[in-house]
Structure 1
Amino acid sequence: MSSTKQRPAGGTEHPRNKQRRRFLLGALGVTGALVIGWGVVPPRSRTGVPDMFPASPGQIALNGWIKIGTDGTVTVAVPPVEMGQGIDTAFAMLVAEELGVPLDRVRTQTVTRERIYGNVAALVDSMPIHPDDDGKPWARALRWMLAKSARELGLIITASSSSVADAWQPLREAAASARTILVEAAARNWNVDPGAVSIRDGMIVGPDERRLPIEHLAGDASRLRPPSSVTLKPASSYTLLGTPAPRVDVAPKTDGSAVFALDVRPPGLRYAAVSLCPKFGGTLARFRESAVRAMPGVVAVVRLDGLSGGPCGIAVIGEHYWQARQALDSASPTWNEGPHATLDSDRIDAVLSAELAGPRDGITYRTQGDGLHAFDDSRGGSVIEAEYRVPYLAHAAMEPTNCTAQVSGGRVRLWAPTQAATLARLVAARVAGVSGDQVDIEVPFIGGGFGRRAESDFVAQAVSVALHANGRPVQVIWSREDDLRHDFYRPQVHARLRARIDGTTPIAIASRSVGQSILAQELGRTFGAPGIGLDRYTTEGMFDMPYEFAHQHVAHLNVDLPVPIGFWRSVGHSYNAFFLECFVDEIAAAAGRDPLELRRALLRAHPRHVRVLDAAAQAAGIEGSMPAASGDGRQAYGIAMHASFGSVAAQVAEVSLQDGQVRVHRIVCAIDCGFVVNPQIVGQQVESGVIFGLSAALYGDIRIAGGQVVQSNFTDYPVVTMASAPLIETHLIASAEPPSGVGEVAVPPVAPAVANALYRLTGKRIRRLPILL
């Protein structure tokens, strides 16, 4: 069960905290060349021209985002991939509102090539800039230059909960531009002032209520020069945006007509099954190739070289998938185990523990006030310290890894469930030995991405297999076991947090974490480039904490381990929120203060965060301070608040113990994500994030033994089921700010909210995930 409510904003923002803050950004050179090279280039328009969005028969393109059909339908370009988060609906709503057409007449079309569709917001937010520094000249200049660089790069990627935030301005401008030239065409046709013409419900309306369908003037409008500037509708005139409009993908996803990546069926399709080396860094020694080729339906046998960070192995191409799978079972491969055959979870724990206790400092991402000197022995007060650990986690999307590829006539065609079309094109071209212009990509619906589909190993693998298919398309399908054992996992991380408390006032906080760098691995896999050291994902949610400790120090030490890691829903926020929010509760206990009251006190200059925190507490029935465990001592509340991807979320968890097992009865979530385009979809994403985060908190734990992953399916890598899911209540804070992230922001607060509730219930601190009592 779930519910979604909108709450008034209330209050005003206070001035930014003026205390001195400093970043150590020695590795800024990762984008330095781009910034310098493009610093003098005029900003690239993101509205584009009609040729960028080619019209099919019966369509007329008005710019790079909007096409009008002769039947009155409006088609909007959608660069992000729809994987359940409601992107298609949000984009359709933005255009329908600004253009003045009914939502049911808007269609969406995935686009994967032009630079105007590149994700600007994701790159702009990639640098470790504290939100309190956003208004400073250096931060504004850096963001401006990064935005220009992003426009030139044109990286089409669905990541960082940025799709709606990124499209908010350019998509509305494109719709307003289309509206302007349609109005101009009508005004010329009627010989009236354009100010007397408008568009309502898909009809161009002029003086005396004369009307024409927009499709009647699309041709005339396309021949007009687009306006150099447009006036966007004010929010006060919205009739669609901000409403729980029905999703545009409901019908195809309920009647079975929706096409996911596993559903594509190009003519002449063959199928491939794979057997992948189970060991990290292992290689194929030998297999019974003659036995495989003798099996019915076998078309080809391919050795896989482990491209783009993927594993080595064997692929069998068959006329049907079952034939390929059965033939593969006769391969009996023998593997060279490689250099990591003895790696196990205990060894990884020992390495991380030793590094956490060792002398290496790592990279300092933030220091404020006296930094670490605030912990000198000469200072007064008391110091508390705690160590936290989180494990490797798999993505475990419902749709296993797959990709369909065709190499024919010097061109590559992909039907790829990718979150990063630009990178997929680059990798496919490299494997096939063609230019990027010779690669065409179609992106179907994706049955769950969570960051796994931002990788391109499965694309490289599919293209390498298709090279042996005599020009026919091949659909490469992994089993569930392949998917879980050959993932790019969320990294295992250890952290030590310290705080100095003067009386009842916490005055200093320090965090030092150790773990692998996602960015370093990603750069190596995709570009063959070495890591640069700096990786904001390692400390996001920690270095940019809103809590106003006078003295702060946040550092991370990158540790090299052979386990493949990658982006996982909410990335570093997913574990740094657990570290920080549990530790804030520990600080409150040591200072003799209520954890809710302490958070309010530490957020005096951040009323937005306080507003969200109070909304969650009040909705959960908490007034003033956190209540003690229930009278029978078997049920309690825990609270956590975390800011990520431009949004703020707070959650209250209602938890009990039943026969020694943790039972989460209710999660109350308040979220400020800027202007809410569709409250129903935001509510769905909050619910999804809560279930995703709760599954990780209660069960998620990828274990390593003998140099390979132990888990293989949902039997030993469980997730929260419908029967065990809590009641989820979502409360949306009204805001006039532009939309910010939604898809990932409900994940980080879940684990600490549950852990803090369990402490109030049992008196035992939870400092390691998954939660084991």
Structure 2
Amino acid sequence: MSRASAQAGKVSRRGLLLGAAGAAGLLLVGWGVIPPRSRQGKPELWSVGEGEVALNGWIKVLADGGVALAMPRSEMGQGVHTALAMLVAEEMDLPLARVQVVQAGADKIYGNVAMFVASLPFHPALSEGAAPPFKVRAAEWLVAKVARELGINATGGSSSVADAWEPVRAAAATARAALLGAAAAQWKLPVAELAIVEGMIRHSSGAQAHFGQLARSASATPPGTVTLKAHADFKLLGRAAPRLDLPSKVDGSAVFGLDVRLPDMAFAAVRMCPVLGGAPGAFDANVALRMPGVVRVVSLPSYAGSTAGVAVVASSYWQAQQAVRALNIAWRHPVGPLVDSENIRQQLLNEVGTDSGFEFYAKGDVKAAEAAGSRVVEAVYDAPYLAHATLEPMNCTAQVRPDGISLWVPTQVPQMAAALAARVAGVRADQVAVTVTQLGGGFGRRLEVDVVGQAVRIAMECGGRPVQLIWSREEDFGHDFFRPMQVARLRGSLSDSGELQSLSVASAGDAITPRWLARTLPALAGPMDTPDKTTAEGLFDQAYRVPHQSMRHAATRHGVPVGFWRSVGHSHNAFFLESFVDELASAAAVDPVVFRRKLLADAPRHLAVLNLAAERAQWGQPLPAGRARGVALHESFGSIVAQVAEVSLVGTVARVHRVVCAIDCGQVINPDTVAQQMEGSVVFALSAALFGGVDIEGGAVKGGNFGEHRLLPMAQAPEVQTHIVPSHRPPAGVGEPGVPPLAPAVGNAIAVLTGRRARRLPLA
């Protein structure tokens, strides 16, 4: 071939590649403008009993006139089963007690779209404005479409109500319209003359019927124009309502993962290599097999990020646990240096001094502002690894039969649990049936499916016998997917008059999302890491008006398994930023609340929340001797929370007496639930702020139980007062936004008491 011909061949191949890329781009654009997949779903998604009629994928009418709601989200104490049932009761004018919650199937209509849209790293000034730029609207449209196609059912990101706000209400309103249409046709009356009162369709003539008597006709009646209720017409939403899950939790009938009992069920206990990433070497299984009740010893490889280990199956959990502890296992450590948390901390401290990483947000000219400012304030903050410490340890019950697999598991991701079970057993995903039990705490830990892979592998060795795998507390703490250690260097410049002119933040720490995708959704995990919003959230997207800004994060990878922890990056980034804002206020000799008010001139929602918290906490009023107040404001998951903490010191430990919370979470579904979540968030966050931290030496986690990982005693729990800012905006998150402001509010109060700034967690 001549040189000219060879060159022509190169050009031709390049042209083919460009042509293919162009064609792919056109296909993507064409697909993008197609209307998104409907989330109504078909009645065929339901299994129906005697007298029951499904009207769409979400709503089934029961024979007695009640309604069943297909529930795709997991209940872990956040009240989601009640909240989504309230949406249905409101739109259908039905008493809440008449709405029954039934676990949804695996159809794509139940996927969590809002969670994926919220992962886009846009600054709120762009995404929440009156007219978001085209790139924001296009990205949100495209991600929402992809999320609908994927249909991933996940309970996380404080997104359950936000995601259900439109599809569940629309499904209920559609069912309502069809029922009214069926009554109108049957009674030969205009629809406009009919009314629904407490689940009964009535007419002034005396005609009436409950939903069950009209459901069959309604299933064949086109609903016509469907209109969602206006805010002014709400009768239930925004008012306190009893939790649907409360009676069963009071009388003990609620079924958590550990409560599952099946005929001929065996129990399994596990020991994983104490060194993260290690594996078992030689051991004598007969030591365990000779012990009472023991039926199997199973070696376990790594599943979905777990550390390899050994399991023992026995007739009782006690027998299994005693036997697995008796094994003398020669552990094999991973190749290379063993992880050490203090070494990692030093590496992160070095990293934030280099201004490396991805810049999530930039505005103005920070360097010029610093050069022109009268004073530059700089501080370095850091936060440790944290364990989830769910009160119900990790567990899963699995039964493997020739025709398929059954799982009973407290999980936030049932589809991912089914997918991993199918891969482990070599069956199709549709051969896996998942029963989601109540969750004894989630906090993001149950977004992982490692325990499911282990349970299925163990059950494969048990000849069809169901096996319940339970982790000991020591295994739970030693093999968590920890909140990442993170370090941040913050710099701010002040003008002669004390105005904040510039703010720059450089942070460093492991990125969660790419690691989570790789172990739970390997098909979606790409070969390269993309910028992970969770690393910088709460820093790059803060609402303060600062003319010159730079927010960057260096995503590291230190070999420690990391995962989503309640409020994720906000949990430590709020501590960094809100503590530093107090430092800036002190440098400017301005009251911390007054200083923040000036910075929120362009953020009326944030300002209203701050003012409400300060007013109800009586900011500026005298306190008893030895007490001080600290304030913090933070937006996360669409909600804005301000907290004022009243603190004293007992020796070197802070004692928090009262926390005043103000929150704007959009449209409130159940105000009692909002208050409960703020109270729970404060106690959860206070345990972490005062005592939380995981140390790793020689690749192994130090401390294996609550003796070393302290929780806040009930006697030291503060009084928590919650005040809600009324709003007609769509609902936002509630389960997590109360966590981030707590640590900085307490830290800021400690600084007032001691005159010293605590820049490292835990505060004790």
Equivalent residue number for residue 569 of structure 2:
572
Residue 363, structure 1, aligned to residue 358, structure 2: yes
Q: 1:744 to 1:231 in 2, by over 3 A?
A: same
Letter in 2 for 1:193: P
Give the Cα–Cα distance (whole angstroms) in 1 for the partners of residues 85 and 475 of structure 2.
36
Q: 1:544 aligns with which of 533, 541, 546?
A: 541
Task: State how many pairs are aligned.
Answer: 733
- 1:667, CA displacement in angstroms? 0.3
Give the Cα–Cα distance (whole angstroms) in 2 for the partners of residues 267 and 427 of structure 1.
25
- 1:47, CA displacement in angstroms? 1.3
Residue 771, structure 1, aligned to residue 763, structure 2: yes
Letter in 2 for 1:363: F
Q: 2:140 aligns with which of 137, 140, 143?
A: 143
Give the Cα–Cα distance (whole angstroms) in 2 for the partners of residues 87 and 494 of structure 1.
34
Q: 1:354 to 1:35 in 2, by over 3 A?
A: farther
Give the Cα–Cα distance (whole angstroms) in 1 for the partners of residues 256 and 26 of structure 2.
39
Q: 1:386 to 1:154 in 2, by over 3 A?
A: same
Q: 1:650 aligns with which of 634, 642, 647?
A: 642
Residue 102, structure 1, aligned to residue 95, structure 2: yes
Q: 1:533 to 1:238 in 2, by over 3 A?
A: closer
Q: 1:122 to 1:287 in 2, by over 3 A?
A: same
Give the Cα–Cα distance (whole angstroms) in 1 for the partners of residues 334 and 582 of structure 2.
45
Letter in 2 for 1:212: A
TM-score (norm 1): 0.92
Greater relative contact order (Cα < 8 A, sep 6+): 1
* CA deviation map 1:408-467 (0-9, x unaligned): 124121112111122222211111111222211110100000000001111111111111
Contact 1:372 1:552 in 2 (8 A): no
Give the Cα–Cα distance (whole angstroms) in 2 for the partners of residues 424 and 576 of structure 1.
31
Q: What are the equivalent positions in structure 2 for 1:740-759 lying under 5 Å apart?
A: 740-759=732-751
Instruction: Give structure 2 stretches of 5+ with no counterpart.
Output: 1-24
1:570 partner SS? coil
Residue 349, structure 1, aligned to residue 333, structure 2: no
* CA deviation map 1:678-702 (0-9, x unaligned): 0001100011111111111000011
Equivalent residue number for residue 667 of structure 1:
659
* CA deviation map 1:706-731 (0-9, x unaligned): 21101211111011121010000000
* CA deviation map 1:38-76 (0-9, x unaligned): 414321111111112332344211111111111222111
Residue 523, structure 1, aligned to residue 517, structure 2: yes
Equivalent residue number for residue 718 of structure 1:
710
2:484 partner SS? coil
2:352 partner SS? helix
Give the Cα–Cα distance (whole angstroms) in 1 for the partners of residues 652 and 355 of structure 2.
41
Contact 2:300 2:310 in 1 (8 A): yes
Q: 1:94 to 1:670 in 2, by over 3 A?
A: same
Letter in 1 for 2:177: T
Letter in 1 for 2:542: M
Letter in 2 for 1:481: E
Contact 2:277 2:334 in 1 (8 A): yes
Q: What are the equivalent positions in structure 2 for 1:20-35 lying under 5 Å apart?
A: none
Give the Cα–Cα distance (whole angstroms) in 2 for the partners of residues 567 and 50 of structure 1.
35
Q: What are the equivalent positions in structure 2 for 1:87-236 lying under 5 Å apart?
A: 87-134=80-127, 135-227=132-224, 229-236=225-232
- 1:342, CA displacement in angstroms? 4.3
Give the Cα–Cα distance (whole angstroms) in 2 for the partners of residues 640 and 360 of structure 1.
27
Contact 1:523 1:531 in 2 (8 A): no
Give the Cα–Cα distance (whole angstroms) in 2 for the partners of residues 514 and 643 of structure 1.
21
1:453 partner SS? helix
Q: 1:534 to 1:356 in 2, by over 3 A?
A: same
Q: 1:496 to 1:173 in 2, by over 3 A?
A: same
Give the Cα–Cα distance (whole angstroms) in 2 for the partners of residues 197 and 307 of structure 1.
57
Identity %: 49
Residue 557, structure 1, aligned to residue 549, structure 2: no
Q: 1:668 to 1:72 in 2, by over 3 A?
A: same
Give the Cα–Cα distance (whole angstroms) in 1 for the partners of residues 259 and 690 of structure 2.
33
- 1:296, CA displacement in angstroms? 2.4
Letter in 2 for 1:323: Q
410-419 or 730-739, which moves further after superposition? 410-419
- 1:323, CA displacement in angstroms? 2.1
Equivalent residue number for residue 8 of structure 1:
none
Contact 1:123 1:146 in 2 (8 A): yes
Instruction: Give structure 1 stretches of 5+ with no counterpart.
Output: 1-31
Residue 448, structure 1, aligned to residue 441, structure 2: yes
* CA deviation map 1:209-257 (0-9, x unaligned): 3211111111111122344x41112222222111111111111111111
Q: What are the equivalent positions in structure 2 for 1:273-422 lying under 5 Å apart?
A: 273-339=269-335, 342-357=338-353, 359=354, 361-375=356-370, 377=371, 379-422=372-415
TM-score (norm 2): 0.93
Equivalent residue number for residue 247 of structure 1:
243
Residue 459, structure 1, aligned to residue 452, structure 2: yes
Give the Cα–Cα distance (whole angstroms) in 1 for the partners of residues 351 and 530 of structure 2.
16
297-306 or 155-164, which moves further after superposition? 297-306
2:647 partner SS? strand
Residue 74, structure 1, aligned to residue 67, structure 2: yes
Contact 2:93 2:197 in 1 (8 A): yes
751-760 or 138-147, which moves further after superposition? 138-147
Equivalent residue number for residue 8 of structure 2:
none
Contact 2:66 2:211 in 1 (8 A): no
Q: 1:421 to 1:182 in 2, by over 3 A?
A: same
363-372 or 539-548, which moves further after superposition? 363-372
- 1:268, CA displacement in angstroms? 2.9
Contact 2:272 2:279 in 1 (8 A): no
Equivalent residue number for residue 22 of structure 1:
none
* CA deviation map 1:313-336 (0-9, x unaligned): 111111222222222122121101
Give the Cα–Cα distance (whole angstroms) in 1 for the partners of residues 27 and 632 of structure 2.
39
Give the Cα–Cα distance (whole angstroms) in 2 for the partners of residues 680 and 153 of structure 1.
34
Q: CA RMSD in A?
A: 1.8
Give the Cα–Cα distance (whole angstroms) in 1 for the partners of residues 373 and 239 of structure 2.
54
Q: 2:686 aligns with which of 694, 713, 730?
A: 694
Letter in 2 for 1:669: C
Give the Cα–Cα distance (whole angstroms) in 2 for the partners of residues 693 and 143 of structure 1.
31
Contact 2:640 2:665 in 1 (8 A): yes
Give the Cα–Cα distance (whole angstroms) in 2 for the partners of residues 582 and 360 of structure 1.
21
Contact 1:38 1:149 in 2 (8 A): no
Give the Cα–Cα distance (whole angstroms) in 2 for the partners of residues 653 and 37 of structure 1.
53
* CA deviation map 1:338-366 (0-9, x unaligned): 23674333212222222223x36111111
- 1:544, CA displacement in angstroms? 0.4
* CA deviation map 1:717-755 (0-9, x unaligned): 011121010000000111111110000000000000000
Give the Cα–Cα distance (whole angstroms) in 1 for the partners of residues 46 and 339 of structure 2.
50
Contact 2:386 2:483 in 1 (8 A): yes
